[in-house]
Structures are given as structure tokens and as C-alpha cells.
Amino acid sequence: MAINGSAAAAEDRGGVRRLRCSVKNYDWGLLGGESRVARLFSLNSGLGVDDEKPYAEFWMGTHDSGPSFVVEGGESGESTGNLSLKEWIAKNPHVLGDEVVREWGTDLPFLFKVLSVAKALSIQAHPDKELAAVLHKRRPDAFKDANHKPEMALALTEFEALCGFVSLEELKDVFQNVPEIAEVVGTAYSEKVLAVNKQDGEENVVEALKSIFTELMSASKDMISKALSKLKNRLTVASEGRQLTDKEQLVLRLEKQYPGDVGVLAAFLFNHVTLKPGEALYVGANELHAYLCGECIECMATSDNVVRAGLTPKERDVEVLCSMLTYKQGFPEIVQGVALNPHTRRYLPPFNEFEVDWCVLPEGASAVFRPAPGPSIFVVVEGDGRMHAKSFEDDVVREGDVLFVPANTDIKLTAASGLHVYRAGVSSRFFGPL
């Protein structure tokens, strides 16, 4: 891929740029060659893959915890310097478009990722802007920024997650059929849940749910350990006479990953979601969730703030998590995306910071991306082809390539082989009626 000109000249032009991106080796990631994250990172960076190491997240954007760097070079794609995308944008703010600069300043409002999940991530939520500002000021070591983090997961493979609390009816079933939870929280809390009804008003239902969840998550390690031992024994006996439910099977799987963890019991209270490839899930601020397994494209507001309380060896903040949650009940919406053309679907969450397009092109096919008023990042996850854009004519793109596209830039993709491309950009809704 030929990109002419030096880094200094690039600061004056601000055209399409190839990026070198960051990887995260969290212990829940898929190992080495099993991980799409590992493959994309290797192709993107030219570095080898360690088959003994987990590769969890591939970051594309400007967040300081995992920055991308602008490549200025020839066919080898070697960088002529260490100019980060964040620094390059600061020198070329026009690449964001005027409306984006007015709203968010000279930084990308979204962070784009690929995730390869081998075992459950923590039970967690992301604070809204008000709480994020407080947490960042109080503990900047743990909360790296003051931004909120609404996010969307778009499945690349079958992808499992826990998201939000089960309905009131399902919650009552849990307290009637999972005696270990009722024993941990105590008779008074159990009776409170069983007695509450929708007719009592949403506020009373939320208060009952919040109280039992807080009691469960605050229980001693010894109490949780004993409860999980009883649960495993009970389900082992039950499995000899009946098929365990999907949730029971999931809980036993989580217990093997995180033995003695309160999050294993808490999973009974959450919706178990399985996405098929091409399906997406939105997660708003202060909404509880945990990704379980599979691979996905993820996009979010530019933040890395997480409050955890289970299924993790990392630091937990049970008090903050239990106080911040929305306690929304019911199964979350599964989003299919909307067709823009025969080859492209758009996923448009109810957040201004981002949207995601998924483009699949068979050999010889083309797709046009109309100029957007804001910036975009494209990642090629499969195949190869050409990208046609101003100052970026007929350049080959292939698996592992990540490209920054400035505002108001026409893009045309043509596949040489089957080409799978994802694009993240500022939400179309932000710029006005669709």
C-alpha cells in the first residue's frame, strides 16, 4: 500500500491513514493462534504470535491506555516515527469535521475494538458522565478518564453474554428454585422479593431488587463458598434425573472458571444472551453485563472506566456498583442492523458517539461509503481488495489493515477475494435527521 509524503507533509494534508494498533493480553483472552485478535494484531504490526499467551482485545483509536499510531511509509508499512493518532488529529483537527470538534474537541469520541473471549469477563458496569467525573477525580489510578462508556458488541462468532436483570417473574422463580441464593440473602430479603408485584410500582420493584442484589454481592467469601458447594452437589444429583437448564449449566461452567466467586451465584439473576454472527447488543451507562465467550466487534465512547464486582481476580467495588446500577429488568434488545445496500448493514445505537457498519463483499463486488460529516475507522477482518479514496487511489487493503478516514471523504471498496470490513464512525443521528 503506497502512501506518499512524509509525516510532516501528512500534517498538512490529513488524508486517509493506515494505523498501527494496540493489543491487550488479558487472561480471559483466547490463546495465540486460536484468537482472531492475535491474528489481526500480528498482521497489523508484523509481530509474531505467542501461542502460550492470551490475546484478548485489539484497540483502534486514541485512548491513552491503548493508542494507535499513524503509519507513514511504503509497501512495508513501516512507520517513520511514533506519531500517535491522537497527536496527529491534534495537528490536523479538520479531519474530525467541524461539528465533531465543537462537541468533543480534538479527539475521537469513540473507541473501536475486536474481542476474543475464552472465559467470562467480570460482572461490571460503566459509570455515566457524572459518576465517571467523580471516580476519576477520586481515583485516577483506577479510573483513567472522566467519560462515560456506553458500548455495543457485534458478534463475529456465536457470542454469549450476561446483560441486565431477569424479569420480576423470573426473579421470583430463582428464589423459589435456587435455595442457595435464598439462604445467602436471608429469609427477610427472600420474602420481600416474593411479595413484591408490578402493581406496587416500579420504584418498589427496583428497591427490592437492589436490596437483594446488594446483600448477595456483600456476602462473606466463606458464606459464598459454602453456598456454591451446596449448589454443585445439588445440581450433580439433579443431573442424574433430568436435563439441567441452560442457566444451571452456565453457572457450573462459570464456577469452574471462577471457583468460590459470588458472581457465579449472581448469574442466576441476569439475562443469558447468545448472539449469532451479525447480531448486536447495546449496553448503556450503569447497566450490568459480563461477556462470557466468543468473538465480537466492540465500539464505545472513548473511555476505559469499569466498576467490577464478580467473576474477576481484579479489584472490586461492590458498594459503587450496587449503588450505580439502573436495575433495569427484562431481556435486552437484540439488534440485527439495517441494510444500507446489498452488502452493508448499519448498527445505530442510541448514543451520539458511534455507529458501526458491517460490509461483506464477494469477489469482484464493490460498495460505496458516502462522505460522513465525521471521522471513521475501518478494519479489515477477512480477505483483501482495494480502497479508493481521495489521495489514496487504488490502494490494496487486506486482513489486519486498520485505516483512519477523515470527515467528508468518499470511500469505495472493491473485493479481490471475499472482503469483510467493519467501519466505526460518529452516529449519523448526531448530524441531524436520517
Annotated catalytic residues are 308
DSSP string, 6-51: -HHHHHHH---EEEE-EEE--TTBEEGGG-HHHHHHHHHH-----T
Cα–Cα distances in Å, from 252 out to 19, 104, 162? 42, 44, 15
Cβ pair 23, 59 in contact under 8 A: yes
Report the Cα 374 to chain-centroid distance in Å: 21
Report the Cα 87 to chain-centroid distance in Å: 25
Cell of 60: 483502534
Place of cell 461490571: 124
Cα–Cα distances in Å, from 106 out to 12, 86, 88, 397? 16, 8, 10, 27
- Residue 117: CB atoms within 10 A of its CB come to 26
DSSP 8-state assignment for residue 372: P
Give the relative orientation of helices 202-217 and 187-195 as an angle to the nearest 10 degrees.
Answer: 150
**Identity of residue 348:** L
Helix, coil or strand: residue 275: strand
Cell of 376: 471513521
Cβ pair 122, 311 in contact under 8 A: yes
